Amino acid sequence: MIDESNEIEPLGSGNPPEDADRIPTELASSEDEAPAKPADPAVFEAEMNPHLDSLYRNAMRLTGNSNDAEDLVQDTYLRAYRFFHQYQPGTNAKAWLFRIMNTVFLNDYRKKSRQGDQLSYDELEDFYLYNKLSEEALSKEQSYNMANPEDVIVERLGIEEIEDAIRKLPGEFRETVALATMEDLSYQEISDVLHIPIGTVRSRLSRGRKLLQRALWQVLGKTDPDALGNGDD
Amino acid sequence: MAMTEFAIQTRPVTVLNFDTSMANDKDNEAISSHLYEEAETFDYYSCEEAVKRLNDYLDHELNADERADVVKHLKICKPCLERFNFEQSLVITIKTKVKNLCAPPELKSRLSSLLHRP
């Protein structure tokens, strides 16, 4: 089901325009359309191409599949090119691209994207993964040294497990956690990208990272039926 | 956890070697300086105070003074130090491993040709 009450609003005021090629509202006011003369592709590429991998990863997290992710990257990239004159050199190009991607996604992709699994928000504890590893070490013959539980994580967690766990998070948590944890955006930049107050960034991060730890524990093959519901009950 | 259990440990045994490794990679001091203005003073003996700042600490969103407050607690609280270390390792692990996922080369060449089309 689409969560229409999502805090993330399409940008700007009023309803989003209907046409497929609409402008990210925060990038172009009504009198500030794309310039008649296109930007120099070489300049654009030099500035933006270093972030293509990050863009693709973000698109994968948003859409949940590689086909839509590629389309979303392409739409974002072309729109960024069209509005490159609005980019301020010296600011974070990655954050700028993510902001465009988020707008494109909300306008054109969200309805068909996966919404994340239903997770129970109850009893979100601090240091969930650390505690679980500690419990595991105590309950079994100690197969690893709890002096360095982080070594266990480094060893056991692969890219598949991480991406699986991220995909289990509800959208708003997934984006915030991913942008802070994986993409090195500051809280202010995340606030700008997602158009949410910085306090919301913090609260989503706080809950989202705890949810992520539960999801990681689950994808590591551990069962914890109380932690992750499937939404069927 | 009650701080009194650890208060007798006056000198840290574990070196805070994680503290500076990732610092200064963001321009963040201005962002967070107002965050905890309600808390007049940071209670160094309170695990709760430190844990409240965990994410800001991990993401370098604390200014120098706020960060020093947290570090001061970690120096006298081994359980928190271990947990903070773990959380930091987890973040670094995730960050490092996901960077291996790249955009497909076909997508990159398609974007290039779209940009350079006549």
Q: Write out pLDDT tens, residues A111-120.
A: 665 555 555 5
| Distance from C-alpha of B108 to C-alpha of A21, rounded to nearest angstrom | 21
Q: Give me the domains of chain A, ranges plus CATH numbers.
A: 41-112 (1.10.1740.10), 128-219 (1.10.10.10)
CA distance A232 to chain B (A): 30
More confident residue, B33 or A79: A79
Using one digit for the tens of pLDDT, what is the confidence trace for B37-79? 544 577 888 899 999 999 999 999 999 999 999 999 999 999 9
Closest chain A CA to residue B92: A181
Measure B6 CA to nearest chain A CA, in Å.
Answer: 17
- Mean pLDDT over residues A207-230, rounded? 74
What pLDDT does A141 receive?
A: 56
Q: Which amino acid is at A217?
A: W
Q: A214: closest CA among A93, A86, A127, A85?
A: A127
Interface of B with A (CB under 8 A): 25-28, 31-32, 51, 54-56, 59, 61, 82-83, 85-87, 89-91, 93-95, 97-104, 107-108, 110-112, 114-116
Does A189 score more than 80 pLDDT?
yes
A74 in contact with B at a CB cutoff of 8 Å? Answer: yes
CB neighbours of A71 closer than 8 A, spacing ≥ 6? none
Q: Which of A63, A125, A129, A154 to mutate to probe the B interface, most B CBs <10 Å?
A: A154
C-alpha span between B43 and B36 (Å, rounded): 12
Q: Is A177 on the interface with B (CB under 8 A)?
A: no
Q: Which residue of B has its CA nearest to A206?
A: B55
CA distance B100 to B118: 34
Q: Tally A–B CB contacts below 8 A.
A: 109
Task: Assess whether pLDDT exceeds 50 at residue B7.
Answer: no
pLDDT score of B46? 86
Q: Helix, strand or coil for residue B97?
A: helix
Q: What is the pLDDT of residues B68-103, one digit of tens each?
A: 999 999 999 999 999 999 999 999 999 999 988 899
Token couple for A183: 């993409």
Q: Percentage of chain A surpassing pLDDT 70?
A: 70
Q: Where are the alpha helices (DSSP H) in A64-197?
A: 66-82, 93-104, 128-139, 149-156, 159-168, 171-181, 187-194
pLDDT band (50, 70, 90) for residue A144: low
Buried b (16+ CB within 10 A) or exposed e, B4-34: eebeeeeeeeeeeebbeebeeebebbebbee
User: Is A57's CB within 8 Å of B101's CB?
Assistant: yes
Instruction: Write down the residue that tokens 């609409």 correspond to.
Output: A22
CA distances from B19 to A67, A129, B16, B74, B82 (A): 41, 21, 6, 10, 13
For residue range A65-75, list pLDDT tens digits in order.
Answer: 889 999 999 99
Closest CB to B103: pick one of A52, A157, A180. A52
- Residue of chain A with shortest Cα separation from B107: A70
Q: Nearest Cβ partner of A158 from B97, B108, B114?
A: B97
pLDDT surpasses 80 at A230: no
**Residue pLDDT, tens place only, A30-59:** 445 667 678 889 999 999 999 999 999 999
User: Does residue A18 carry a pLDDT above 80?
Assistant: no
Question: What's the pLDDT score for residue A86?
Answer: 92
Structure tokens at A63: 């859409």
Contacts of B103 in chain A (CB under 8 A): 52-53, 55-56, 73
**A106: which DSSP letter?**
I
Write the CA distances from A228 to A101, A232, B59, B95, integer angstroms. Answer: 29, 11, 26, 24
User: What pLDDT digit, counting tens, does each position of A153-187 carry?
Assistant: 778 888 888 988 998 898 889 999 999 999 989 99
Report the distance separating Cα A55 and Cα A53, nearest Å. Answer: 5
* pLDDT attached to residue A17: 37
How would residue B33 be classed by pLDDT, with cut points 50, 70 and 90? very low
Whether the pLDDT of residue B1 is over 80: the answer is: no
SS3 A208: helix
Which carries the bigger pLDDT value, residue A134 or residue B111?
B111
Tell me if chain B has a CB within 8 Å of the CB of A164.
no
DSSP-derived secondary structure for A187-232:
HHHHHHHHT--HHHHHHHHHHHHHHHHHHHHHHTT---TTT---S-
| DSSP symbol at B23 | T
A134 near B CB under 8 A: no
Mean pLDDT along residues A212-230? 69
- Residue A211: what pLDDT? 93
